[in-house]
Amino acid sequence: MAILTILVVSLLAGLSMFTVRGASDDQLEVYSWWTGPGEEEGLAAMAKSFEAANPGVRFVNAAVSGGAGSNAKAILASRLLANDPPDSYQRHAGLELLDDVRSGKVQDLTGLYHQQGWTKVFPKGLVENLTIDGRIYAVPVNIHRANLMWYSPGTLKDLGLPGPPKTWAEFLQQAETIKAKGRIPLAVGPEWTQKHLLETVLLGELGADKYERLFSGGISWLSPDVTAALATFAKVLAVSDVKSAAGDWQPQLDKVFSGSAVYAVMGDWSSSYLEQSKKLRWETDYNVTASPGTDGVYDFLSDSFTLPTGSRRPDLARKWLVECGSADGQNLFNPLKGSIPARTDADPGLYQGYLDWALQQWRDPKTRIVGSLTHGVVANNAYNAEIDSALGLFVQHGDQGKFARTVEQQYRETQ
Ligand code: GAL
């Protein structure tokens, strides 16, 4: 009986493997963390265009929910370890790609770049962030901005506030008025949103040069400037709702637009959520400004797609990457996603409201561009993970010195 059961189970397993493998002949599994309003529609628009260009091929959306890839990245890591990659997966431009490249998990796309003429249509600095040891490893679909502060003009008016704060010192002053009127000055969400906040406070307090040098080892986490910036971060967090933080970035923003909180620092994926899901209008119902101290600085990140080693259909995956890198694909995706195109030749007329402003800022030669910490640009994965653990403890116990010493030491250990 036992032998019979084993035989039947093996036969079924064999059959199901056969079914999956058989089906995978004309399907492409694409992995991301885009399940929220706006981002889901943007991905679906590109998927539809990909299917239309490749009749008979099915786009399998393998998205895993959780802002900033908080769940998706962990599940992807176990799939990559088991040599069971999707046919293409989302990564950020920057040092986030390094592990995949060093461990041979992704294929070199330099040839595809030349074939498609992409080195001429993507900004040079962006291509540099996708290049490791002279080879290019991912195709960028967009540009996002991280250093933004979102608010309701109506709430500011009700509270008699003249406008959003231009510095963190001014924010802390406003926070006193806001608290006195029974509201929360700043809404935060889960740990990654707190790191996102830390990144913008560091950028605002240190300025772009020192921010960059901090993440390239040029200045110490124990230096007086960084010590002062971290003290500001602790004060900012103290006037936030961190003790009852929202579960993700959408409910974090909801607190601002229900009026219980006044500000939230978040990336510009917020714009599509606020417009499409909440039906709010830019400048009237919601507004946004550079996070305090960062006017004229664009803290960028870029969502990109890879060709994993072991993709079942590398031919189709390449076609998907062509969709991602094409002007048509980017123009379908970005207006829905709430991001601007990575390509420099996209049609600016498609980007309205907040996105028009974002595009102007991105393209303004006077804008200073720096890379995001939380979204993969300036720190490798090992260092980022160490910052996560140390920050979790800092937020919980408030030991700033321990945080700075740990992160300083981990920088050296993770390079
Ligand atoms: C970022 C990603 C964005 C958006 C955001 C919130 O890491 O680049 O596209 O998904 O997380 O989930």
pLDDT at 326 over 60: yes
Q: Give residue 219 CA to ligand 1 midpoint distance, Å.
A: 28
Candidate from 142, 143, 144 with most ligand 1 atoms within 8 A of CB, to mutate: 144
Per-residue pLDDT averaged across 329-344, rounded?
97
Q: Which residues line ligand 1 (CB under 6 A)?
A: 33-34, 39, 67-69, 92, 144, 249, 267, 269, 301, 303, 375
Which among 70, 73, 303, 324 is the best mutation to test ligand 1's pocket, defined by most ligand atoms within 8 Å of the CB? 303
Top pLDDT among 346 and 397 is at 397
Between the CA of 102 and the centroid of ligand 1 the distance, in Å, is 24
Place of tokens 């989302």: 90
Task: Quote the ligand 1 centre to 157 CA distance (angstroms).
Answer: 31
Q: For a pocket test of ligand 1, which of 97, 199, 269, 304 has the largest count of ligand atoms closer than 8 A to its C-beta?
A: 269
Distance from Cα 241 to the centre of ligand 1, integer Å: 22
Which residue is closest in CA terms to ligand 1's atom 5? 68
Q: How far is the CA of 237 from the centre of ligand 1 (A)?
A: 22
Protein residue with its CA nearest to atom 10 in ligand 1: 68
Answer positive or negative: Cα dihedral of 223, 225, 229, 234: positive
The answer to whether 341 and 330 have CB atoms below 8 angstroms apart is yes
Atom of ligand 1 nearest to the CA of 66: 12
Ligand 1 center from residue 249 Cα (angstroms) = 10
pLDDT for residue 21 is more than 60: no
User: Which residue's CA is the nearest one to ligand 1's atom 1?
Assistant: 68
**What's the CA-to-centroid distance between 298 and ligand 1, angstroms?**
16
User: Looking at residues 218-222, what average pLDDT do you find?
Assistant: 98
> Which numbered atom of ligand 1 lies nearest the CA of 302?
8
Nearest CA, atom 4, ligand 1: 68
What pLDDT, on a 0 to 100 scale, did the predictor assign at position 346? Answer: 84
CA–centroid distance, 47 to ligand 1, in Å, is 18
The per-residue pLDDT for range 232-251, each reduced to its tens digit, is 999 999 999 999 999 999 99
What would the mean pLDDT of 10-29 be, rounded to a whole number? 53
Look at residue 24 in the predicted model and tell me its pLDDT: 52
Q: Which residue has the tokens 């265009």?
A: 49
Task: Give the model confidence (pLDDT) of 143-172 as tens digits.
Answer: 999 999 999 999 999 999 999 999 999 999
pLDDT surpassing 80 at residue 291: yes
Closest ligand 1 atom to residue 267 Cα is 5
- Three-state DSSP string of 95-131: HHHHHHHHCCCECCCHHHHHHHCHHHHCCHHHHHCCE
Q: How far is the CA of 108 from the centre of ligand 1 (A)?
A: 24
- From residue 308, give the alpha-carbon distance in Å to each of 25, 128, 141, 317, 350: 17, 20, 17, 9, 32
DSSP 261-327: EEEEE--THHHHIIIIIS---BTTTBEEEEPTT-TTEEEEE-EEE--BTT-S-HHHHHHHHHHHHSH
